[in-house]
Amino acid sequence: MERRCGQGNNEDLCSRLATFGDGQKRLAMYIAEEKLDIETNEDLSNLVNNLGIMTVCCAYPLYSTKWTKMLRLITDYRMFDKPPKIDETIKFGNRCALLIVTFYVTISIMYEFNSIYAGKSCHKLAEQKGLRKICFTLYPVWLPFEISISSQIMISVFQLVLILVCVVPAGVGIHLPWEVSQHLYNHVQHLNNQFNNIFETDDKEEQRRRLNKWIKYHNRIV
């Protein structure tokens, strides 16, 4: 389970997310000021989602460092031998993580295509209501100038990348506590086996050596 929780350029990512969040805020304000008969629930919910994503993004460097430290600690077998069934646990955990990543990527891409497909009706409604609204994006964006549909789709793809950068690690993060618990369970089982192994010899010196090793292993797990 050699996994690294990299921090990346979180400040730059947060600033980009803030730009899109500000666009949605301007859109909601414009609709409210002009008193347009437009449903804004989705726009407002996306604004709240953006704030949540930015919060997770800014907190990620701190917590990813702690998770990396724990993962390195529980997968270090140099001093106390490798616990039994650890390889099976690693393989199963990696398969689960791959399944989670595949799920989040697939759902995000499906939402991307659905947003672009629904852009036609959005664009038509915006023209009828006189609303300067960019419709062919993953979620609505307001700009003070007109842009082409191809530019809107480019923005949509960029939004998709930003969402994947934040959502995929969050999905794997949900899986991490379970995987860590399985590794700790294997360590506890291995600790019990080593305790029984202490008394399999009549040599007092060897017993003391094994007991000292067992105590160190116990303290490491705790």
Q: Which two tokens stand for residue 64?
A: 């990813």
Q: Between 6 and 91, whose confidence is greater?
A: 91
Examine residue 114 and state whether it is found in any structural domain, yes or no: yes
How many Å apart are CA 140 and CA 147, to the nearest integer? 14
Report, as an integer, the average pLDDT of 189-202. 74
How many Å apart are CA 34 and CA 131, to the nearest integer? 9
Examine residue 117 and state whether it is found in any structural domain, yes or no: yes
Cα within 13 Å of Cα(72), Cβ side: 8
pLDDT at residue 7 in the model? 41
Contact, 105 vs 163, CB < 8 A?
no
Closest CA to 183 of 101, 64, 69, 84: 84
φ, ψ (nearest 5 deg) of residue 141: -135, 140
| pTM higher than the cut 0.85 | no
Q: Between 79 and 16, whose confidence is greater?
A: 79
pLDDT at residue 21 in the model? 47
Cα within 13 Å of Cα(123), Cβ side: 15
CA 203 to chain centre: 52
CA angle (128, 129, 133) in 5-degree steps: 100
pLDDT at residue 99 in the model? 92
Examine residue 182 and state whether it is found in any structural domain, yes or no: no
Examine residue 24 and state whether it is found in any structural domain, yes or no: no
Examine residue 181 and state whether it is found in any structural domain, yes or no: no
| Contact partners, residue 79, CB within 8 Å, separation at least 6 | 216, 217, 220
Examine residue 135 and state whether it is found in any structural domain, yes or no: yes
pLDDT digits (tens, 9 = 90+) for 72-100: 777 777 777 777 778 888 888 889 889 98
Examine residue 49 and state whether it is found in any structural domain, yes or no: yes
Closest CA to 169 of 1, 2, 7, 40: 7
Q: Between 16 and 60, whose confidence is greater?
A: 60
Grade residue 17 by pLDDT with cuts at 50, 70 and 90: very low
Domain count, the chain: 1
Q: Residue 134: helix, strand or coil by DSSP?
A: strand
Examine residue 6 and state whether it is found in any structural domain, yes or no: no
Contact, 43 vs 30, CB < 8 A?
no
pLDDT at residue 60 in the model? 67
Containing structural domain, residue 88: 42-55+81-175
